[in-house]
């Protein structure tokens, strides 16, 4: 098979690179997955053992696609192709004893972590309203991903909240250790700790994986960066692919500086740019280029396409959020009538809060749709309860799972009894399961023992049926006779489809491995209203996807860019990268929309158009006249009516201003031409030179 067929010059150079570090700057739609998979196939054809190749990506979906492509090219499946977390788990499984873990350790998810934190707060009489459990969980995740030592924590964490977080972090770690459990961050932190503390183990993995490929390198966080650098430090055959301009996960500790500094980390590296886009038309790409060029922190990458110029980007300004949703729906129906499939159209928004009005409009307009990123299958209560039973059956030291389901369905074991049980286990230094002793608690223990025996004699699907019957979960929902209970029952039945699929595709039926696979599912699942409908999703969720037609909605200051970015270092630049990602999802048509006024989170705001619209060169933009208004436009926004150029330049933080409709307010933040003003009705983001403002 000619692996190089259909590749361009730069792609061929990347595929044929053999020894030493290589940085591939791959623009949106430039065929990076094709380059990665073809390079793996080429390495094997050139004599590299497939077992010496490690390919890391960020989602199970991407890993699955890469595996399939490599197999289709050369029929080889022996390279490790997976996520950082799945590779970390592999190392932990192979060396769990070095980490002081039991063989049957379990992995808890983010909600379980939150449950542990809430329990610690309660035990220490800490008010969760004063110290948010969610904020504490994020802080603990930060501590782990930065791999901060106790000395660093004592030195750097000085505020009351930080000191509280450190105390809770230490207790949280003890609880996990006693439960023989790990959280998701541990799947990265523990392998790095293992490699740094045991030279022989590090040597083993360096020799085993002499060729390392990393996808989406711009999204690596500090611990992933450290992990990769350790593995590649001996042979230095590190091949990374990414796009600085698509780094949009700073809130997950992703650090774009990792890709910016790659050439400093590896001075001998070969750098290759993939700038030919195979997805979009040139008007769309030029719009993306004209926005991203305003970022100071970027790698020069100018996308172009042989797909022709195509239609201009359409900009539609609307009266309010309902008018915006209605106009989008009308345009969708028009394009569908002209031949564009609904499944080829997407409405992308900055925050989930914007989705409701579009969902309502889709229903009103009888347009089939699906929402990506809503509460997904594995986060449903009944599914988490069932998984907790499976975890406890597998690992009786799992106090977290035991706490969740000891009274599910209700069996008369209340919080007081559970607290007493926990105290007894702490005093006796045994698991809560071993401490079960009273009548009701012993009945629960007998139930679990019975299910443990079932697990030895049944496949997982039959075990699930046994759990549903013997625990009373099925009976409880059947007797409730409500629509919600029926849905929960259907979800529990659907879970058996997952176990049956696992049993069908796996060589060995192992409960522990099945639980691992569930824990590693990090891709957001879909809440399917209609698989063939229009897609509604956040721009973050859309990364890696493409659609014939894209509507980027809510393009207003304070919404996109989000108001939170005004106060953060590099915040606007991250928002601009997010805009770049949104624009480059479109193949043939792109619509930008916003509203004169908008009701969101219970508040009505009047927001100026997003700066990102004004950054797009006019020759790529078609401004559509939709309503007559003194601040709107016919062919172009009439800035002379909306702003008074050069006015209010002396407005500074602390000044008092008067707004025509909002009244008096105090300026609390100034960012160039934007000001955040505290009015009686709340904080608003305004343009400094807007005609409705005057300094007092």
> What residues are annotated to the active site?
32-33, 215-216, 246, 585
Residues 6+ apart with CB under 8 A from 382: 473, 477, 488, 491, 492
Tell me the angle at which helices 222-232 and 199-208 cross, rounded to the nearest 10 degrees: 80
Per the listing, tokens 């900055």 go with 350
Kindly report each contact of residues 600-603 with a partner whose C-beta sits within 8 Å and lies 24 or more positions away, as own/partner. Answer: 600/321, 600/353, 600/354, 600/559, 601/353, 603/681, 603/682
- Provide the 8-state DSSP code for 556: B
Residue 313 backbone dihedrals phi, psi, to 5 degrees: -70, 130
Cα separation, 594 vs 598, whole angstroms: 9
Angstrom CA distances, 414 to 384, 418, 674, stand at 20, 6, 54
Burial degree of 205 (CB within 10 A; 0-12, 13-18, 19+): buried
Using DSSP, state whether 180 is helix, strand or coil: coil
- Asked if residue 604 lies in contact with residue 322, where contact means CB atoms within 8 angstroms, the answer is no
Q: Which DSSP state fits 608?
A: P
Say if CB 413 and CB 403 are below 8 A apart.
no
Rg (CA), the chain: 28
Please, what's the b/e burial string for 244-276 (b: 16 or more CB within 10 A of its CB; e: otherwise)?
Answer: bbbbbbbeebbbbebbeebeeebeebbebbbbb
State both tokens at 298: 């970027």
State the sign of the Cα–Cα–Cα–Cα dihedral 661, 662, 666, 671: negative
| Element holding 570 (H helix, E strand) | none
Burial grade of 634 (CB within 10 A; 0-12, 13-18, 19 or more): exposed
Tokens of 169: 């972090």
Please say whether the beta carbons of 213 and 38 come within 8 A.
Answer: no
Q: Report residue 416 CA to chain centroid gap.
A: 37
Read off the DSSP letter of residue 559: B
The half-sphere exposure of 70 on its side-chain side, counting CA atoms within 13 A, is: 28
């Amino acid at each position: 098979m000619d692996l190089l067929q259909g590749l361009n010059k730069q792609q061929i150079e990347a595929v044929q690179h053999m020894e030493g570090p290589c940085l591939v700057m791959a623009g949106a739609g430039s065929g990076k997955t094709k380059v990665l998979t073809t390079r793996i196939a080429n390495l094997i054809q050139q004599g590299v053992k497939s077992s010496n190749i490690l390919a890391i990506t960020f989602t199970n979906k991407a890993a699955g696609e890469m595996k399939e492509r490599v197999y289709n090219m050369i029929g080889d499946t022996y390279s490790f192709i997976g996520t950082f977390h799945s590779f970390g788990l592999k190392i932990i499984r192979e060396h769990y004893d070095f980490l002081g873990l039991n063989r049957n350790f379990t992995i808890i998810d983010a909600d379980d972590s939150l449950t542990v934190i809430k329990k610690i707060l309660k035990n220490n009489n800490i008010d969760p309203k004063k110290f948010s459990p969610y904020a504490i969980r994020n802080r603990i995740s930060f501590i782990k991903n930065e791999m901060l030592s106790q000395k660093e924590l004592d030195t750097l964490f000085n505020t009351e909240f930080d000191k509280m977080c450190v105390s809770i972090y230490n207790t949280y770690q003890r609880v996990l250790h006693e439960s023989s459990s790990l959280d998701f961050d541990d799947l990265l932190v523990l392998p790095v700790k293992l490699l740094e503390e045991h030279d022989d183990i590090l040597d083993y993995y360096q020799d085993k994986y002499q060729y390392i490929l990393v996808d989406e390198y711009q999204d690596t966080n500090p611990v992933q960066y450290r992990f990769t650098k350790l593995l590649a430090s001996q042979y230095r055959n590190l091949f990374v692919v990414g796009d600085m301009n698509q780094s949009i996960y700073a809130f997950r500790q992703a650090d774009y500086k990792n890709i910016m500094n790659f050439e400093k980390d590896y001075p001998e590296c070969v750098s290759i740019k993939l700038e030919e886009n195979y997805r979009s038309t040139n008007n769309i790409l030029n719009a993306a280029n004209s926005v991203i060029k305003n970022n100071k922190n970027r790698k020069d990458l100018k996308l172009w396409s042989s797909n022709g110029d195509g239609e201009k980007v359409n900009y539609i300004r609307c009266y309010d959020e309902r008018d915006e949703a209605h106009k989008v729906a009308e345009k969708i129906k028009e394009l569908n009538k002209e031949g564009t499939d609904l499944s080829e159209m997407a409405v992308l928004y900055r925050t989930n809060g914007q989705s409701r009005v579009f969902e309502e409009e889709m229903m009103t307009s009888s347009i089939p749709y699906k929402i990506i990123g809503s509460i997904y299958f594995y986060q449903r209560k009944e599914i988490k309860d069932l998984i907790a039973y499976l975890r406890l059956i597998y690992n009786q030291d799992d106090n977290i799972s035991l706490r969740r389901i000891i009274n599910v369905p209700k069996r008369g074991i209340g919080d007081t009894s559970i607290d007493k049980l926990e105290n007894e286990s702490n005093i006796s230094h045994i698991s809560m399961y071993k401490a079960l002793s009273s009548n009701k608690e012993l009945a629960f223990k007998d139930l679990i023992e019975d299910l443990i025996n079932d697990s030895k004699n049944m496949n997982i699907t039959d075990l699930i049926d046994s759990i549903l019957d013997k625990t009373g979960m099925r009976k409880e929902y059947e007797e409730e006779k409500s629509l919600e209970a029926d849905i929960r029952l259907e979800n529990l039945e659907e879970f058996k489809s997952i176990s049956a699929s696992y049993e069908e595709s796996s060589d060995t039926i192992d409960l522990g491995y099945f639980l691992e696979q569930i824990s590693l599912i990090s891709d957001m699942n879909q809440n399917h209203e209609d698989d063939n409908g229009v897609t509604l999703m956040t721009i973050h969720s859309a990364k890696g996807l493409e659609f014939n037609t894209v509507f980027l909605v809510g393009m207003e200051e304070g919404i996109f860019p989000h108001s939170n970015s005004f106060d953060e270092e590099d915040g606007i630049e991250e928002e601009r990268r997010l805009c770049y990602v949104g624009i480059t999802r479109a193949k043939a048509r792109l619509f930008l929309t916003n509203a004169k006024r908008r009701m969101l989170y219970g508040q009505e705001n009047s927001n100026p158009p997003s700066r990102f619209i004004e950054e797009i060169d006019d020759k790529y933009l078609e401004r559509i006249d939709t309503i007559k208004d003194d601040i709107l436009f016919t062919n172009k926004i009439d800035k002379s009516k909306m702003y008074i150029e050069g006015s209010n330049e002396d407005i500074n933080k602390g000044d008092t201003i008067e707004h025509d409709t909002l009244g008096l307010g105090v300026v609390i933040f100034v960012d160039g031409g934007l000001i955040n003003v505290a009015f009686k009705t709340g904080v608003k983001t305004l343009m400094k030179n807007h005609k409705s403002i005057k300094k007092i």
